[in-house]
Chains A and B, each alone.
Chain A
Amino acid sequence: MSFEFPLLSLIIWLPIIFGIAVFATGNDRNAQLARSIALTGSILGILVAIPLYTSFDSSLATMQFVENHVWFERFNVNYHLGVDGISMPLILLNCFITPLVIVAGWQVIKTRVSQYMGAFLVMSGIVNGVFSSLDAILFYVFWEASLIPMFLIIGIWGGPNRVYAAIKFFLYTLLGSLLMLIAFIYLYQTSGGSFSIQDYHQLAIPMTPQILIFVAFLLAFAVKVPMWPVHTWLPDAHVEAPTGGSVVLAAILLKLGGYGFLRFSMPIAPDASHYLADMMILLSLVAVVYIGLIALMQADMKKLIAYSSVAHMGFVTLGFFLLNAYGIEGAMVQMISHGFISGAMFLCVGVLYDRLHSRQIADYGGVVNKMPTFAAFFMLFAMANAGLPGTSGFVGEFMVIMGTIKINFWYAFLAATTLIFGAAYTLWMYKRVIFGAVASPAVEELQDISKREFVLLAILAISVLWIGIYPFPLTEVMHATVDQLLAHVSISKL
């Protein structure tokens, strides 16, 4: 076996160690050093993650790159890591996004540079830990730990109303996850003293406790995703967060919730999942339609994209609870794709905000006259956000709609309205911001994107197009795991 090398530990701890090194550079006199170390760390973070893809055996549904060491023997808590076809792409996404946010904050962040850069690296490692934990306590520790860097990023580098937003973010997500802890303790009791997530998958649980477990997990994950109606923290958090924070929040942190459904809710409580599937589907459809309508009316670009995120994540939860292969794989693709697109959209808004210090759509107009290259990139991402075929935004939505119609025609009908609403809110914003004659003296002063910004947006543009044109390799790694998950969920555990 070539996997004796602790690859996953490296993927988790390397960014965290680099993050601590960045913190150690201290105050802003060493800002350039902090930036360099952070960039090195984040790029090394991608490099060490490459073997995860190349050595991954996509024909297996079992956990790979497994590491298992005793942590607290008294409570049977283990340092147990492993990845399958569901978590592996998410880890790659996370490693991919980290250097982008480091570069995005390169010149923009001028105060407490080392802490800003370090926070992102530490968070990157923690999130990798969430995606690879196979022990409930280890998972819970990483899960809660991921709140702290984001709380600080919003609270320190955020906008004027950052404290309200940071606390709202923190309390919302913390309250959600407390019930998850209770569910873990119940499962620990029932399983006769195990915190192994894989043991929980095999556990027979009667219907009522299954439903309670499902609901406990639901609160934790629904807040993260976020699902309607527990989504209202997200627009506030995005509006106040600095650009990098928004990118990570949308691209990575929301995926934790989606991942949770696949790793916990569905395999641990399959009967409850079936029983409550219709409710989940309806909540997701509300997110798609209701949030799509709200997004249309936003005057603040970041709020608009935040609401659009909620609507797109509605497709993720919708896909999961169709409980068929189209739905789950489509939702997975949607998660990856949303990582790229929402990240790119927030970066685009960041590019404008850095120049004009406003997020209000009304303050812009005619930007294309001054920033043609930027406008071209923004067009591509806007179209991807509207789900144009040939971009990644289409793939996931297409697969989920194909899966939905098998369940119910009208569900698919509601889901497909995203074709109209998604285009409406995105293109209307684009029209008001980018097109038209130069609207103000401030717009007249705008400079087109720098080389640094060009590289960032170009990398994301290539990713968005690549998944849109050739999604085959991405879904190929998921098949075995998703098939096994579906087989598992179809068997009653009562």
Chain B
Amino acid sequence: MQKLYLLVPLAPLLGALIAGLMGRIIGPVWSHRITIALVFASLLASIVIFVDVLEGNTYNGTVYTWLVTGDARFEVGFLIDQLSATMMVVVSFVSLMVHIYTIGYMHDDPGYQRFFSYISLFTFSMMMLVMSNNFLQLFFGWEAVGLVSYLLIGFWYTRPSAIYANMKAFLVNRVGDFGFLLGIAMVLMYFGTLDYAAVFTQAPEIVNEQIELIPGSSWLVITVICILLFIGAMGKSAQFPLHVWLPDSMEGPTPISALIHAATMVTAGIFMVARMSPLFELSENALSFILIIGGITTLFMALVAVVQDDIKRVVAYSTLSQLGYMTVALGASAYSAAIFHLMTHAFFKAVLFLGAGSVIIAMHHEQSMQKMGGLKRYMPITYGTMFIAALASAGVPGFSGFFSKDAIIEAVYFANIPGVDFAYFCVLATVFVTALYTFRLIFMTFHGQPRMDTHTKEHLHESPWVVTVPLMILAIPTVAAGWFIGPIVFGDYFNNVIYVSPQHNAIEKLGAEFSGIGGMMVHALSTAPFWLSTAGIFSAWFLYSAKTDLPGKIKTKLSILFTLLDRKYYIDEFYSWFFAGGTRALGTVLWKYGDVKIIDGFFVNGAARVVAWTSTIVRQYQTGYIYHYAFTMIVGIFVVLTLWLY
């Protein structure tokens, strides 16, 4: 079994190396054959491991020792349990679908082999992240997925917007990683190890320890650790205020938007917090912080999605909002619900993105929904699968998104830590907004009259099978993944992995009421989320299918609100003025004044000038006349004698 564990990350790595280093020799076809075969091997291994874990065979062991220093050992190792096995299957499955889809999406791109190399490398990095049994390897995977994300956002490197977006993504993530690394350093300082198991066992011992970061104000060490770690999650999982990179990441090719910026990488932060539940459970303040950040992200990002015209940006803001849901679930100690939503979201969001990609191919890389409309006639498979995904996203009973989202909302309702009321309001209101923007996308793209130019319209066609087959395969879990909510969220599936302290027993209360998925659906009919989502779908139909002139009127009436949303609350403008501009200005001042004027100008060249000036004066005494020297000597002797005698 341990060899199989190694196969899961190493097979895609091998594929990445072959496609990357020898891509020009073996050509495009063999590049995709080899990488797909190896990712498929990784998926099979993940499934075997998953089944093995279900039988109760978990594993925690070292592969090799990375470094020994001081009193600490740093190792590379695997922790295979219910959480990592679930993630492994989700990641390799979505990755395989995206690999296949890419054949169709990128078929005439000059960077074809490079693209396969990157997505296989991503799969490797993500596997290292989820399979890790220690913080160091987690950080390695964490930054490695960031690197691949950087490379893929900037895949079309001649586009100025792409190479701006990828640098922005990397730097904003680095801000998160800055906190994350400090958090890891605090963990090492207090526990003397970075091994999960050892840290989690010792965690309760330091629960009352305090640290004085600012003189006069004491913090619980555990709170500081958790918030620092969570800052890392905020970067990677694009939570407010570090969310700004994710919408721009849509500059990358669509397959990676599905794989990296929706289904897998951006959920790393959620996964990490769930993995660290034994730490986070000890700090109520950190959980409150998470709740509020998650609540803000959920609602405010969903609102932005409503005014976007670019089909990918709608899905991108939807991703932000859904990540907010997961974060709120973490804050409410409903870790299993967060992971469950992570899983269902991976499927339905992958369908939405890949479907959007399919539309974009058909539209000859036009992404504005204003120029679409009526596509359902031409692209029935894309329409059908996206419609299913939209139902899941809006949380219509029966579809996967309904179960996971409802569990989160209910869990927040039952939670009782500070900030929960605000979060509850946000997640509830967002149900309406989600249904609205999702079906706005469906209606604007697929229904109504075609608005594209005639040339595009003549060439409209359904995408090839390499595109539609992954969509159809992914549509299955988009519907059905939710049906497993019983064992996964309320059952004992995550019992040995996720720790929930007895005070934070929202999920337990919820589980007590749970009476099968049928019961959950029936119960939903009498609750607010169901009616909110129905209202959302209805509004979308009313505004974007029935009375299509109404949105324009609303836009003029509420132009201030519209502009605010359209400019994304001016956060990007503020950041580029304050942080980017401020840093550059500071750098210039330090350089021009600190280095050039003060150190070099005053001290270094000044010293040289003083030497030159002194020597000019001293040189005057080297006259060459004997009587000058003799006179100086006499004066000197006189002075010395005087001093000596008295």
Chain A interface residues toward B at CB < 8 A: 168, 172, 229, 232-233, 290, 293-298, 324-326, 329-330, 366, 368-369, 379, 383, 388-390, 394-395, 398-399, 401-406, 409-410, 412-413, 416-417, 419-420, 423-424, 427-428, 431, 434-437, 470-472, 475-476, 479
- Structural contact, B586 and A435, CB atoms closer than 8 A: no
Q: In whole angstroms, how far apart are the Cα atoms of A298 and B66 in the complex?
A: 36
Beyond A395-B67, A475-B68, whether A416 also contacts B594 by CB under 8 A is no
Residue of A nearest to B67 (CB): A471
- Structural contact, A436 and B157, CB atoms closer than 8 A: yes
Whether, in the assembled complex, B195 has its beta carbon less than 8 Å from a beta carbon of chain A, the answer is no
For B67, give its contact among A172, A401, A427, A475 (CB under 8 Å).
A475
Residues of A within 8 A of B64 (CB): 470, 472
Q: In whole angstroms, how far apart are the Cα atoms of A403 and B136 in the complex?
A: 15
- Structural contact, A419 and B158, CB atoms closer than 8 A: no
B174–chain A nearest beta-carbon distance, Å: 5
B372–chain A nearest beta-carbon distance, Å: 29
Residue of A nearest to B70 (CB): A325
Q: In whole angstroms, how far apart are the Cα atoms of A130 and B587 in the complex?
A: 36
Residues of B within 8 A of A410 (CB): 213
- Structural contact, B157 and A435, CB atoms closer than 8 A: yes
Residue of B nearest to A424 (CB): B171
Residues of B within 8 A of A416 (CB): 178, 181-182, 185
Beyond A325-B70, A420-B174, A431-B163, whether A437 also contacts B158 by CB under 8 A is yes
For B174, give its contact among A294, A330, A412, A423 (CB under 8 Å).
A423
Residues of B within 8 A of A431 (CB): 163-164, 167
Consensus secondary structure, chain A interface: helix
- Structural contact, B174 and A402, CB atoms closer than 8 A: no
Pick 16 A–B contacts, CB within 8 A, sort by A: A229-B603, A290-B594, A389-B140, A390-B144, A398-B181, A406-B189, A419-B178, A420-B175, A427-B150, A427-B167, A427-B171, A428-B167, A436-B157, A470-B66, A471-B67, A475-B68
Residues of B within 8 A of A434 (CB): 157
- Structural contact, A326 and B163, CB atoms closer than 8 A: no
For A435, give its contact among B144, B163, B588 (CB under 8 Å).
B163
Residue of A nearest to B175 (CB): A420
Could you list 9 further interchain pairs (A-B, Cβ under 8 angstroms) beyond the known A296-B587, A326-B70, A434-B157?
A293-B587, A383-B147, A388-B147, A405-B189, A420-B175, A435-B163, A436-B158, A470-B66, A471-B67
Residue of A nearest to B224 (CB): A409
Whether, in the assembled complex, B599 has its beta carbon less than 8 Å from a beta carbon of chain A, the answer is yes
Whether, in the assembled complex, B476 has its beta carbon less than 8 Å from a beta carbon of chain A, the answer is no
Number of interface residues of B (CB under 8 A): 51
- Structural contact, A436 and B189, CB atoms closer than 8 A: no
Whether, in the assembled complex, B417 has its beta carbon less than 8 Å from a beta carbon of chain A, the answer is no
Residues of A within 8 A of B220 (CB): none
Q: In whole angstroms, how far apart are the Cα atoms of A435 and B188 in the complex?
A: 39
- Structural contact, B211 and A409, CB atoms closer than 8 A: yes
Residues of A within 8 A of B188 (CB): 402, 405
Q: In whole angstroms, how far apart are the Cα atoms of A406 and B175 in the complex?
A: 22
Encode contact with A along B188-228: 1 for CB under 8 Å, 0 otherwise: 11000000000000000000000101000000000000000
Residue of B nearest to A478 (CB): B69
Whether, in the assembled complex, B591 has its beta carbon less than 8 Å from a beta carbon of chain A, the answer is yes
B20–chain A nearest beta-carbon distance, Å: 8
B112-147 residues at the A interface, CB under 8 angstroms: 136, 139-140, 143-144, 147
Chain B interface residues toward A at CB < 8 A: 64-72, 136, 139-140, 143-144, 147, 150-151, 154, 157-158, 160, 163-164, 167, 170-171, 174-175, 177-178, 181-182, 185-186, 188-189, 211, 213, 583-584, 586-588, 590-591, 594-595, 599-600, 603-604
Residues of A within 8 A of B182 (CB): 401, 405, 409, 412-413, 416
Residue of B nearest to A366 (CB): B158
- Structural contact, B66 and A471, CB atoms closer than 8 A: yes
B305–chain A nearest beta-carbon distance, Å: 29
Residues of A within 8 A of B211 (CB): 409
Q: In whole angstroms, how far apart are the Cα atoms of A479 and B144 in the complex?
A: 29
- Structural contact, B590 and A294, CB atoms closer than 8 A: yes
Q: In whole angstroms, how far apart are the Cα atoms of A252 and B486 in the complex?
A: 63
B338–chain A nearest beta-carbon distance, Å: 26
Beyond A409-B213, A420-B174, A423-B171, whether A294 also contacts B69 by CB under 8 A is no
Residue of B nearest to A235 (CB): B595
Q: In whole angstroms, how far apart are the Cα atoms of A476 and B147 in the complex?
A: 29
A334–chain B nearest beta-carbon distance, Å: 13
Residues of B within 8 A of A232 (CB): 595, 599-600, 604
For B599, give its contact among A229, A295, A437, A475 (CB under 8 Å).
A229
A234–chain B nearest beta-carbon distance, Å: 11
6 A-B pairs with the lowest CB-CB distances in the bound complex, closest first: A325-B70, A293-B587, A297-B587, A389-B140, A405-B185, A435-B163
Residues of B within 8 A of A295 (CB): 587
Residues of B within 8 A of A298 (CB): 591
Q: In whole angstroms, how far apart are the Cα atoms of A437 and B157 in the complex?
A: 8
Residues of B within 8 A of A390 (CB): 140, 143-144
Q: In whole angstroms, how far apart are the Cα atoms of A398 and B160 in the complex?
A: 33
- Structural contact, B185 and A472, CB atoms closer than 8 A: no
Q: In whole angstroms, how far apart are the Cα atoms of A14 and B442 in the complex?
A: 76
Residues of B within 8 A of A412 (CB): 182, 185
Residues of A within 8 A of B189 (CB): 402, 405-406
Residues of B within 8 A of A168 (CB): 604
Beyond A401-B181, A405-B185, whether A294 also contacts B591 by CB under 8 A is yes
- Structural contact, B68 and A479, CB atoms closer than 8 A: yes
Residues of A within 8 A of B72 (CB): 326, 402
- Structural contact, B583 and A424, CB atoms closer than 8 A: yes
B181–chain A nearest beta-carbon distance, Å: 6
B189–chain A nearest beta-carbon distance, Å: 5
- Structural contact, A423 and B69, CB atoms closer than 8 A: no
B251–chain A nearest beta-carbon distance, Å: 12
Beyond A419-B178, A436-B160, whether A293 also contacts B185 by CB under 8 A is no
For B583, give its contact among A293, A324, A383, A427 (CB under 8 Å).
A293
- Structural contact, A369 and B158, CB atoms closer than 8 A: yes
Residues of A within 8 A of B175 (CB): 420
Q: In whole angstroms, how far apart are the Cα atoms of A390 and B144 in the complex?
A: 8
Beyond A390-B140, A417-B178, whether A472 also contacts B186 by CB under 8 A is no
Residues of B within 8 A of A330 (CB): 69
Residues of A within 8 A of B170 (CB): 423, 427
Residues of A within 8 A of B68 (CB): 472, 475-476, 479
Residue of B nearest to A419 (CB): B178
Q: In whole angstroms, how far apart are the Cα atoms of A428 and B170 in the complex?
A: 11
- Structural contact, B178 and A296, CB atoms closer than 8 A: no
Q: In whole angstroms, how far apart are the Cα atoms of A220 and B188 in the complex?
A: 35
Q: In whole angstroms, how far apart are the Cα atoms of A398 and B69 in the complex?
A: 12
Residues of A within 8 A of B185 (CB): 401-402, 404-405, 412, 416
Residue of A nearest to B592 (CB): A297
Beyond A294-B595, A419-B181, whether A329 also contacts B167 by CB under 8 A is no
Q: In whole angstroms, how far apart are the Cα atoms of A419 and B584 in the complex?
A: 17
Residues of B within 8 A of A290 (CB): 590, 594
B70–chain A nearest beta-carbon distance, Å: 4
Residue of B nearest to A428 (CB): B167
A407–chain B nearest beta-carbon distance, Å: 10
Beyond A229-B599, A232-B600, A435-B163, whether A389 also contacts B144 by CB under 8 A is yes
Residues of B within 8 A of A472 (CB): 64-68
For B590, give its contact among A233, A293, A406, A476 (CB under 8 Å).
A293
Q: In whole angstroms, how far apart are the Cα atoms of A110 and B183 in the complex?
A: 53
A59–chain B nearest beta-carbon distance, Å: 14
Residues of A within 8 A of B67 (CB): 395, 399, 471-472, 475
B602–chain A nearest beta-carbon distance, Å: 11
B495–chain A nearest beta-carbon distance, Å: 32
Q: In whole angstroms, how far apart are the Cα atoms of A401 and B139 in the complex?
A: 14
Residues of B within 8 A of A403 (CB): 70
A139–chain B nearest beta-carbon distance, Å: 27
B248–chain A nearest beta-carbon distance, Å: 14
Residues of B within 8 A of A388 (CB): 143-144, 147
Q: In whole angstroms, how far apart are the Cα atoms of A172 and B182 in the complex?
A: 37
